[in-house]
Amino acid sequence: MFRGFYNILIVMIFFISWSGCRSIPKGGTAIKPFEVDRYLGKWYEIARLDFRFERNLNNTSATYTANPDGSIKVVNRGFNYKTQEWKEATGKAKFRGDKELAQLKVSFFGPFYSGYNVIALDPEYKYALVAGKNLSYLWILSREITIPDEVKQNYLKIAKDLGFKTEELIWVEHNKK
């Protein structure tokens, strides 16, 4: 009985370790210098690559606040247009190392973390391009529910040059309060 448990534990430790190593898509570079205090606050999701946890959501936003331990509280919120219900998830983000490098890891499920990398950011901290751990995760964020076309085109080019399938982006509607 204990041997089976021991084998499962070894596999879980390997999986957690392996998945934590992959943090940014090949060729991607996180922003440096990065000022986390300027990044905190509410961001609206302008576009994203679809994935299970945000499927059927519009009016999506993320709010980041500092925790006393130096980590960041993450609250993601969106309106499911099929069920007509608001959904909310709370997680935690931590820097992967250097706090001046916008390369973090985020978790909504206990010890399981995934990459969160700010790969483009305007000087005013109004618009951000965020990549996950691989080419399946990409977000365009804004402090407002819209983004200037010039910024949009620039971020799309950066993402496409890294290999993201920008034609598969979902452009989020913001029509609820």
List, for residues 18-48, the tens digit of each pLDDT value.
Answer: 444 458 899 999 999 999 999 999 999 999 9
DSSP string, 25-76: -TT----SS--HHHH-EEEEEEEEE--GGGTTEEEEEEEEEE-TTS-EEEEE
pLDDT on residue 33? 97
Query: For the chain, what percentages of helix, strand and coil (3-state, to nearest 5) are there?
Result: 25, 40, 35
pLDDT on residue 99? 94
pLDDT on residue 22? 52
**The pLDDT of residue 12 is above 50:** no
pLDDT on residue 111? 84
Q: How far apart are CA 70 and CA 26, in angstroms?
A: 28
Q: How far apart are CA 123 and CA 61, in angstroms?
A: 21
Q: Average pLDDT for residues 62-81, to the nearest whole number?
A: 97
**The pLDDT of residue 105 is above 70:** yes
**The pLDDT of residue 13 is above 70:** no
**The pLDDT of residue 132 is above 80:** yes
What pTM did the predictor assign? 0.86
pLDDT on residue 19? 42
pLDDT on residue 4? 42
- Asked whether 129 and 117 are in contact (CB, 8 A), the reply is no
